[in-house]
Structure 1
Amino acid sequence: MRKLLIISLFFLVSPLFAQQFQGRVVDENKSGIPEVSIRVVGTNKYAKTDFNGNFKIDKVNKGDILSFNMLGFSSQLIVFNEETASEIVLTEAFISLDGVEVRPEMDAMQVFADVNIEVNPVNSSQDLLRMVPGLFTGQHAGGGKAEQIFLRGFDIDHGTDLNISVDGMPVNMVSHAHGQGYSDLHFVIPETVEGIEFSKGSYNADQGNFATAGSVSFKTKERIDKSSVSVEYGSFNHKRALGLFNLVADRSAQSQAYIASEYIYSDGPFVSPQNFNRFNVMGKWNNQISSTEKLVVAGSYFGSKWDASGQIPERAVASGLISRFGAIDDTEGGNTSRTNASVSYYKSFGNNTTLESRAFYTNYDFLLFSNFTFFAENPINGDQIKQAENRNLLGFETSFSKEFNGFTLNTNGGIRSDFIRDNELTRTENKTTVLSRVYYGNIDETNTYLNLNTVFKFGNFSMIPGLRVDHFYFNYNDKLSNDGIGNTEQSFLVSPKLSFILQPSPETQFFLKTGTGYHSNDSRAVIFKNNNQVLPRSYGADLGTVLKINKRILLNATLWALNLDQEFVYVGDEGIVEPSGKTNRLGADLGLRAQITDRLFFDSDITYSYARSSEEPKGENYIPLAPALTFTGGLAITNWKGFSGGIKTRVLGKRPANEDYSITAEGYFITDANVNYEFGKWRLGFNIQNLFNSSWNETQFATTSKLFNEVNPVEEIHFTPGAPFSLRTSISLRF
């Protein structure tokens, strides 16, 4: 009885002696490490470091054990007392799932993408997007065009339902000449990417335009440890040169800077060579003003030019008119360039209070020649179209975050303005002769937004309400009109969110996420067609769990639903995205990450989706190209006696190509592999695409086209063939 009284008295009195523990987590170069997970072992007290590695935990008792965990670093346990150092040093280590905790945050699934980028090599923008669990990409008009994206039962086209950003700078292009939300990631040099943040659905208030199926944010490195140069050569005259150059010798200096540059050339497997070439250069400087302030300045430029064979009809291949890698019109292609500049400022006020502000500018040029229908519209000159624009994009955003005892406040506001000149859709012949202009004008579009995201914590339970407010201004000046008067439209939208998280242990999380989002309409659709759905809403919900089954196995299982007030459909022969009707999607995601041995990892993601139009009769309500089943799985080995590598399989199931499923887009099963060997300062690599040399279609569309010798147009599958077996070899030197 006496012992019980003493124990009870201890638990009653100990909070009176609890202290606040604050400090900074740094690496071996004394640079702050952001996003480190900190937990008081045996309690539900959590914290994470800010942008500079700073942290604060209230009510810590003498003798409490604190764990510090970060993927890619050795975990550390410390006992808190008066002599505990305020600077915690974590050392880099081989990746291990042992120290990974399911964090009590809204997007605990983030760890799945973190594991992906740690164990899988990234050599292209396609590889970057494929780091997101369940996301598929496909190229269908030469290497310079933005990839087609598939996620959660969506054919997202080039970004219509996926919000993409890099270092807080938007990638999606509104009212783009080729497609709404067009997202060209080719300005990113893959080796400069340090991390990926992703979420599915639209449940965070800071997720704005196009965040219906989800959002992806890439973060580039703020410094590089060592300079390096590499060259790569492969099948189909593929060539690549890469340089990463550290400009500051002292790794612990307050200022760090580097320059990265890349050049690529490839002919591709096509009968008519792609002649694809691209040049990228990027520079980044960050200044650690103090332990609580940081300034980051970045700039980049990229330019590319290519020829393309486009999508070809099945009947042309079946009849022997062309081969799988042939072309009906090989005058397709284009060129594009993008220049970026950004300034970001970070400030920590202590007491878990931070401020982030950034300003950015982009100049963007786009030119694309396509021919989807060949001679269906113009039997004499052909159906080639030209799409072009020049764009200046400016924006500013500021975010404020404050953590209280049991309550977190996050607020964010900003403005983005696009000034698009000579936005054009023109019917042409041989890229030179103008036959007629369909659209030609200037667009000004501005999005002003403010959002609020809050977290209320009640022990192991969190409630997360959020609210986002958007205002859009559209102006279109039609250069084909005689009056020259601009047409304007404005729209206002409020998007509420509400989510719940139960975190019974560091290994287990259950969640229910709900919220509305939106994807904006093209300015031309808004103004010319008097479309009331200026900002069509999405309504979504996720119910699921993230589990750390044991020290080396992570599992995610989610049931989800997503409804759209208005689907967007790409109309090939007009070259624009047009609004469609309401749609419903239901599905399930299952993800697994396992560390089989210290060096061997397994990953797998599978998604099933049921997608239908809600305004069409049964049997005619299929959503074209919406995938029902996707699967990825692979093995990767890291740092074993200098060797690393992996094998990865991706499966995209067959899907309807039109509304009544009378035309089928066939699925594919593709396996890629890679192996690398490091010796001293050198690294030798081999990358194999399509290991088993499968014959597959990378992208497919149901299109009505007419060949030159045909009397009537025919609707059938038009496809871009996937690359056959190909090998690339690279060698790198670090210094």
Structure 2
Amino acid sequence: MKSLLLSFLLLIIRIAAYAHLGSLEGRVTDAASGLPLRGVSVQLAGTGKATLTNELGQYRFSELVASAYKLEFSYIGYAPHIQEVTVTDELTTKVQTKMTVAPVMLSTVTVSGLKAHDQQLISSLDIRLRPVTNSQEILRIVPGLFIGQHAGGGKAEQIFLRGFDIDHGTDIRLSLDGMPVNMVSHAHGQGYADLHFVIPELVETVNFKKGPYTTDIGNFTTAGWANLKTKTTLDNSFIKLEGGQFGTFRAVGGLDLLRRKDKNQSAYLASEYSYSDSYFDNPQNFKRFNLQGKYHGHLSANTNLTVTGSTFWSKWNHSGQIPNRAVASGLTGFFGSVDPTEGGQTSRTNFNAETVTVTSSGYTLKNQLFYSNYHFELYSNFTFFLKDSINGDQIRQKEMRDLFGYQGSIARTNYVGNVALISTAGLQYRQDLTRGTELSHTKNRTETLERQQYGKINELNASAYLDEVIQFSDRFSANAGIRFDYFRNQYEDLLLTPAAKRRSTSAIISPKLNLYYTANPGLQLYLNSGKSFHSNDTRVVVADNGRKTLPPAYGFDAGTIFKPFPKLLVNAAAWYLWLAQEFVYVGDEGVVEPSGKTRRYGLDLSIRYELTRHLYADLDLNAAKPRTIGVEAGQDYLPLAPTLTSVGGLSLRNAGAWSGSLRYRYMGTRPANEDNSIVAKGYFVNDLQLNYTRPSYALGLSVQNLFNTRWKETQFATESRLRGETASVEEIHFTPGTPLAAKLSFTYFLK
């Protein structure tokens, strides 16, 4: 009885003590723009308590004994900040913190156990040390990702990553401010992802993850994903003019519409126009126009609204791919063309609205609506006179599309003792409606000889997911998630009389499990595992009644982020990926090319080193071994899959008015067909960027292929026949890479 009374008294005392404890609530904003900063690390010095700011820049500490405390704030790209506060019994102390932008110093960068699951140290450093200077550089921020252009500046680039020839996006999910970029069941190929509607000067961050390990991102994430985030506000209104070799001209401008009169809201309008004849013998006559507007404000004290609208149009000619024998025989030059009438035009208009609400009970609600109207028309000739010896083999791929959808989630952080549980549930919906999806045989880009495919596509993808991050301590955390995707595909064949509709449905479940251990602020170990998929083209899905149309991919990563020295940051990973099937719809032929089961494994290494206060070095080295499973050794190569790539360079920053970079990129020689009897030769190319910036203006010099290397940017093993040839030949067909090309820029900042 005495022990029971004693326990009861201790409980009463403890409850009374907690009743008198205070709490601390704060909000962190950018000192210049007044906008909230998400993901800021907040340490309550001497207590062992730490947290991260939410979407509205808010954080909270509860059950604090009345006392004076010291708050420590850290965030990449901002000066560390210390703030002293006093907590009073039974009261909530309110704190406002403004952080100022500061030069990046690797010595201040720490590996945080609190944000292990979405650690973006490499991309956060790169986007600040290597500013994006053109559309292609946007994707090159992802370590190990290579791109190649093979149809003029207007077509989406070919992408290579982790032993994948991804074509134009089949195995990587790309998005802009959360809005999907990849086009399902596209006229040119599955997952086609054209980022040319992005104005490079507006890109603020590039978040990415290699592998199928993220619960809230589904289709096309076999090799990984990347999300580009555009600026919420402009630092300054500006006008920028660029001019260079090969008839290249570009003008871009951004206008801060509110001029920071109200720091609770911002709005800007930006536009871009580009023209280039390019370095080909036949002028490219490339034209592109972009326009984007963005508004950010508060619907209430706890709800933010962001609305973005943009439109884009592009038209060009291109020289296509050239067979080696055409150059060797003198039929055409290295920068020439076999069919100079190739080319295309495309346009995309977007609307994107996002709201973020943090409720009084601690729930974070996100809602997003998006819509795109898209047009595409492309003329290509890959085989010349193989099929039609009189008119040639030129094709037209064309479509008009409406894409719309919704993404929503609800998240909350709960505590069980000292264990933090970050729970998220989400719903996603996307629908694509195409009109006049076409594949036709044409001549000289003016005459239609035969329609081979013509129809309408209606594709729906609905998804739901649950995700849980468990922070057992400031050192060890786990992430488990599960995702369900449902597809409904419909194709209406307009070549039949009467038109015929076929439908199919399919679904897939994708689990994820990720483990993280942070030994100290300089060492983190992680193990990622997960399942994902890439969908197949609707025209194939309905023909196969939905069978085997969502081939799963299973991936594993074992890696580390560590700082052996204060000014050296290393990210290394060993990875493995197994795919049940690699079949995709090939729009150039209107057929499916299955390649069976495949496996890939390899090593990724990224190093960032601060040589001096002003000079930074970076290196990315990526090795992969991609193979088909179940075929004879020596016949199991995956055509064009990269096996060894590397990028790196030196960046000059924080050196007064001067900044710049000297960079290289290397793609190793790789098999171009299944038995490695034809190879795509590697290349090593250097680029230079030099800038001089003053408060009211900036001058820039950009040099591509600094040492004028002759290289082949894209290569394919293709069977073709030239005019007059009696038999076809299979060999490398290539698009030449740019020769030395210099460009000057002048930017004027409007105060």
Partner of 1:48: 52
Partner of 2:423: 409
Asked if 1:388 corresponds to 2:398, the answer is: yes
Task: Check the 8 A contact 2:341/2:444 in 1, yes or no.
Answer: yes
Asked if 1:163 corresponds to 2:173, the answer is: yes
Task: Check the 8 A contact 1:232/1:731 in 2, yes or no.
Answer: yes
SS at match of 1:524: helix
Partner of 2:41: 37
Partner of 1:82: 87
Asked if 1:67 corresponds to 2:77, the answer is: no
| 1:256 corresponds to which of 251, 254, 266 | 266
Partner of 2:219: 209
Task: Check the 8 A contact 2:559/2:574 in 1, yes or no.
Answer: yes
SS at match of 2:121: helix
Per the normalisation by structure 1, the TM-score is 0.95
Deviates more, 1:58-67 or 1:26-35: 58-67
Asked if 1:283 corresponds to 2:290, the answer is: no
Map Cα deviations across residues 443-468 of structure 1 (whole Å, 9 max, x no partner).
00000000111012222221211000
SS at match of 1:118: helix
Deviates more, 1:426-435 or 1:148-157: 426-435
Per the normalisation by structure 2, the TM-score is 0.93
What is the CA distance between 1:47 and its match in structure 2? 1.9
Task: Check the 8 A contact 1:572/1:703 in 2, yes or no.
Answer: no
* Distance in 2 between residues matched to 1:638 and 1:576, nearest whole Å: 50
| 2:123 corresponds to which of 113, 126, 134 | 113
Task: Check the 8 A contact 2:185/2:539 in 1, yes or no.
Answer: yes
Map Cα deviations across residues 326-364 of structure 1 (whole Å, 9 max, x no partner).
000011110000000111111011454311101011000
Asked if 1:646 corresponds to 2:650, the answer is: no
Residue type of the alignment partner of 2:295: W
Q: How does 1:324-335 map to 2 (within 5 A)?
A: 324-335=334-345
| 1:100 corresponds to which of 109, 116, 119 | 109
| 2:30 corresponds to which of 22, 27, 30 | 27
Q: How does 1:182-331 map to 2 (within 5 A)?
A: 182-331=192-341
What is the CA distance between 1:58 and its match in structure 2? 4.3
* Distance in 1 between residues matched to 2:518 and 2:344, nearest whole Å: 51
Give the unaligned 5+ runs of structure 1: 1-11
* Distance in 2 between residues matched to 1:110 and 1:410, nearest whole Å: 20
Give RMSD over aligned pairs: 1.9
Deviates more, 1:38-47 or 1:70-79: 38-47
Change (3 A) 1:696 1:730: same
Asked if 1:364 corresponds to 2:377, the answer is: no
Task: Check the 8 A contact 1:443/1:477 in 2, yes or no.
Answer: yes
Residue type of the alignment partner of 2:720: S
Deviates more, 1:340-349 or 1:22-31: 22-31
SS at match of 2:86: coil
Give the unaligned 5+ runs of structure 2: 1-12
* Distance in 1 between residues matched to 2:108 and 2:620, nearest whole Å: 22
Task: Check the 8 A contact 1:305/1:336 in 2, yes or no.
Answer: yes
Deviates more, 1:258-267 or 1:112-121: 112-121
SS at match of 1:525: helix
What is the CA distance between 1:55 and its match in structure 2? 1.5
* Distance in 2 between residues matched to 1:664 and 1:570, nearest whole Å: 24
Change (3 A) 1:572 1:540: same
* Distance in 1 between residues matched to 2:72 and 2:356, nearest whole Å: 26
Residue type of the alignment partner of 1:328: V
What is the CA distance between 1:255 and its match in structure 2? 2.2
Map Cα deviations across residues 616-646 of structure 1 (whole Å, 9 max, x no partner).
2110000000000010111101131200001
* Distance in 2 between residues matched to 1:50 and 1:358, nearest whole Å: 18
| 1:424 corresponds to which of 438, 454, 475 | 438
| 1:660 corresponds to which of 669, 672, 675 | 675
Task: Check the 8 A contact 1:254/1:289 in 2, yes or no.
Answer: no
Deviates more, 1:150-159 or 1:247-256: 247-256
Change (3 A) 1:315 1:43: farther
* Distance in 2 between residues matched to 1:421 and 1:44, nearest whole Å: 59
SS at match of 2:189: coil
Task: Check the 8 A contact 2:701/2:743 in 1, yes or no.
Answer: yes
Task: Check the 8 A contact 2:411/2:423 in 1, yes or no.
Answer: yes
Deviates more, 1:380-389 or 1:281-290: 281-290
Residue type of the alignment partner of 1:380: I
Task: Check the 8 A contact 2:458/2:490 in 1, yes or no.
Answer: yes
Task: Check the 8 A contact 1:546/1:555 in 2, yes or no.
Answer: yes
Asked if 1:598 corresponds to 2:613, the answer is: yes
Task: Check the 8 A contact 1:366/1:389 in 2, yes or no.
Answer: yes
Asked if 1:517 corresponds to 2:532, the answer is: yes
Residue type of the alignment partner of 2:679: T
Change (3 A) 1:351 1:93: farther
Partner of 2:727: 712
* Distance in 2 between residues matched to 1:273 and 1:90, nearest whole Å: 50
Residue type of the alignment partner of 1:46: A
Residue type of the alignment partner of 1:415: Y
SS at match of 1:482: coil
SS at match of 1:94: coil
Count of residue correspondences: 724
Partner of 1:466: 481
Change (3 A) 1:348 1:577: farther
Change (3 A) 1:531 1:297: closer
Task: Check the 8 A contact 1:164/1:170 in 2, yes or no.
Answer: yes
What is the CA distance between 1:701 and its match in structure 2? 0.4
* Distance in 2 between residues matched to 1:42 and 1:322, nearest whole Å: 73
Q: How does 1:694-705 map to 2 (within 5 A)?
A: 694-705=709-720
Partner of 2:8: none
* Distance in 2 between residues matched to 1:187 and 1:591, nearest whole Å: 29
SS at match of 2:630: coil
Partner of 1:5: none
SS at match of 2:391: coil
Map Cα deviations across residues 469-528 of structure 1 (whole Å, 9 max, x no partner).
010000000011123231000001111111111112222211111000000000111122
What is the CA distance between 1:19 and its match in structure 2? 4.9
Partner of 2:622: 607
Residue type of the alignment partner of 2:96: E
Residue type of the alignment partner of 2:95: S
Partner of 2:571: 556
Task: Check the 8 A contact 1:68/1:77 in 2, yes or no.
Answer: yes
Asked if 1:497 corresponds to 2:512, the answer is: yes
Asked if 1:687 corresponds to 2:702, the answer is: yes
Change (3 A) 1:415 1:489: same
Task: Check the 8 A contact 1:596/1:602 in 2, yes or no.
Answer: yes
What is the CA distance between 1:553 and its match in structure 2? 1.5
Deviates more, 1:63-72 or 1:658-667: 63-72
* Distance in 1 between residues matched to 2:728 and 2:140, nearest whole Å: 37
* Distance in 2 between residues matched to 1:146 and 1:45, nearest whole Å: 47
Partner of 2:455: 441
What is the CA distance between 1:106 and its match in structure 2? 4.2
SS at match of 2:623: strand
